[in-house]
Structure 1
Amino acid sequence: MFDTVRATICGDIATVVFNRPKAFNAFDLDTITIMMDHLINLAADDTVRGIVISGEGNSFSCGGDLKWVASWPQDYASAFHNLAARYHQCILEIRRMSKPVIAAINGIAAGGGFSLALACDFRIMARSAVLKQSYTSNGLSIDGGGTFVLPRLVGLARALEIAAMDEPISAEQALNWGLVTRVVDDGKALEEAITFAEELSRKPLHSFAWSKKLLTDSFRNSLEEHLEQERTGLRSCAAHPDGKEGISAFIEKRKPMFNREAQ
C-alpha cells in the first residue's frame, strides 16, 4: 500500500514526511489522519527526542486537498468540518508534546501547510521556498491555528496584511519577519532540520518541555496563574536529574551531561 505519510526513526530523531509530491503534498482525510496517528505515537515514544516534519519532492505541503473537498459526497462545509477535526489534532499534538518539533520547509508551504509549519517549534526554510497563507485567496478563513500564531510572531498589523493581501513570502522576508528560524541552501532543509533536532536532543529535554508549555500557555493565563505555573515548572525541573546535574555542573565549573536518565 502506498504511504501518503512516511515516518522513520534514526537514532533518537523521527522524520515524518508528506508523500504526495504530485499533489504538492496536499492532504486529504486519509493523509491527515495518518499524520495525526504518527504524531500521537511519536509523542508517546520515549526513545524519540525530536521530530522533523517535511514534504517529499519540491513542496512542504499545500494544505487541504481542494480536489478531495470537491469530491466529498456532502457539501464543502461538511468536508472541511471533517478534515479540520484531524488536522486540528495534529496542531494540538505538536503544541502539546514535550519534545521539539522542527518543520523542514523544502518548498512551498501554503494553506494548511503554512499553518502546520507555524505550529512547529522551529522552522528551517530552503532559500527558494515560499510561504503563502492561501486561504483568503480561495474565499476561506485561515485555519490550523494560523490566526493564533501569526499575530504573535509578526504583530497584528502585519498578520492582517498577510491575511488580506496573501502575497507570497520569500525565505528572506520570512526570516526578517521572524516567521522562520533559519534559511539554508536549497536541498538542505531536511538535512539541516535533522541536524538541528540532534543538537536540541543534547539539551535538557525536561527543561525544554516546561519552557515550551509555559510559553504556549502564556497567551491564555493571567499573570497570577502564570507565575504559579512557572513556580510549578521550576520545582519540577529542580527535582529532575537534569536540573540537579545543571546546578552541580555550574557549581563545579564543568560542562553538564544532560538526559542521562534516558540513555
Structure 2
Amino acid sequence: MDYRNILFSVADGIARITLNRPERLNAFNVAMHEELRHALQRVESAAAERTVRVLVLTGAGRAFCAGQDLADRSVDPGAAAPDLGASIELYYGPLVLALRRLSVPVLCVVNGVAAGAGANLPLACDIVIAARSAHFIEAFCNLGLIPDTGGTYFLPRLLGPARATALAMLGDKLSAEQAAAWGLIWKCVDDAQLAAEADALARRLAAAPTLGVLRTRQALQASGLNTLEAQLDLERDFMRELGRSNDYREGVSAFLEKRPPRFTGA
C-alpha cells in the first residue's frame, strides 16, 4: 500500500507508525484508517518472524491526533445522516482491538493535542508518554456524542467514575502533567526530551522478553473480569508456559553470571 496519511518504518526491531496529516492535526479519515490497519497487519507479520519487538505510535507536527476529521462527513440538511455506529464497527473498534491484541508491546508518544478519538487511542496502547505541552480533550460532548474508541471503557478504569464522568460530560482540557498525576498515562516529559525518552523506552522494550511482556498484558487485562481464584489459575498457566521459554533460561543465566541478558522473544 502507498501510504499517504501515515509514515511507517522498521529498524532495529522497532516499528514506528506516525499519523501524518499535520495540516488537519492528524485527524482521522477513511484513508488513514485503512493505511493504519494495513501497517498494523505488517507489524503483526513481522512480530511473528521476530523482526519487530515493539511498536511506537505517534503523530507528525504539533498534534498527536484531533480525532475524527469532521470535514470527511457531510451533515448538510439535505444529506443523509452519517451512520456513526458503522464508523465504530468498521474502523475505530477494530483499531482499538488490533492495538490491544498486537503481538508486541505498543508505546504511544503523544507529541501534542489529543482530542476525541485521538485522546482515547493512546489508552489502548501499553505505555503512554506525553510532551508537557500536550493535552487530552474528550471533545465528544461538544458534538452531542459519547466518548468512543474505547473511551467509555478505559476512562473509568484508569481514572475512576468521578473523574471519568466529569471529563466526558464537560470536555475540559486535561494537561499531560495532570494526566500523569491521575494515572491516565505513564509519564509526562519536557518537550525537548520527548524524542530521546521515546527512543530509550522503545529500545528497552525491543530488548525485553517479548512473550513475558505479552503475557503480562494479557494477565492485567483479564484481572478486571476474573475472580481471584480465576486470576491465580491464569497466573499459574502463564508461569508454567514462561518457565519453559528460552528467555526465562537466559534471564536466570544472565543474573547468575552477572551480565546483561540477551532476550530473543522466544
**TM-score, with normalisation over the residues of structure 2?**
0.90
Q: Name stretches of at least 5 consecutive residues in structure 1 with no aligned partner.
A: none
Query: Equivalent of 1:105, from 95, 107, 110?
Result: 110
Q: For 1:260 and 1:63, how far apart are their aligned partners in 2?
A: 36
The CA deviation at 1:208 is: 0.6
Q: For 1:8 and 1:178, how far apart are their aligned partners in 2?
A: 30
The CA deviation at 1:145 is: 1.0
- Any idea what SS the aligned residue of 1:169 has? strand
194-203 vs 230-239, which deviates more?
Answer: 194-203
The CA deviation at 1:224 is: 3.1
Deviation per CA, 1:68-100: give whole Å up to 9, x if none.
Answer: 122797422x25513542221111111112311
- Any idea what SS the aligned residue of 1:70 has? coil
Map of 2:43 onto structure 1:
42
- Corresponding pairs, count: 260
- What is the letter of the counterpart of residue 55 of structure 2? I
Q: Name stretches of at least 5 consecutive residues in structure 2 with no aligned partner.
A: none
Are 2:88 and 2:149, in contact at CA under 8 Å, matched by a contact in 1? no
- Any idea what SS the aligned residue of 2:107 has? strand
The aligned runs of 1:1-263 (5 Å cut-off) are 3-45=4-46, 46-70=50-74, 74-76=80-82, 78-82=83-87, 84-250=89-255, 252=256, 254-255=258-259, 257-260=261-264
Do the aligned partners of residues 67 and 261 (structure 1) sit closer, same or farther apart at CA in structure 2, a change above 3 Å counting?
A: closer
Superposed structure 1 runs of 4+ greater than 6 Å apart: none
Quote the RMSD (CA, aligned, Å): 2.0
- What is the letter of the counterpart of residue 20 of structure 1? R
* Percent sequence identity over aligned pairs: 35
Q: For 1:232 and 1:33, how far apart are their aligned partners in 2?
A: 36
The CA deviation at 1:166 is: 1.3
Are 2:110 and 2:134, in contact at CA under 8 Å, matched by a contact in 1? yes
Q: For 1:97 and 1:213, how far apart are their aligned partners in 2?
A: 11
Q: For 2:42 and 2:3, how far apart are their aligned partners in 1?
A: 20
Q: For 1:84 and 1:189, how far apart are their aligned partners in 2?
A: 33
Q: For 2:90 and 2:232, how far apart are their aligned partners in 1?
A: 33
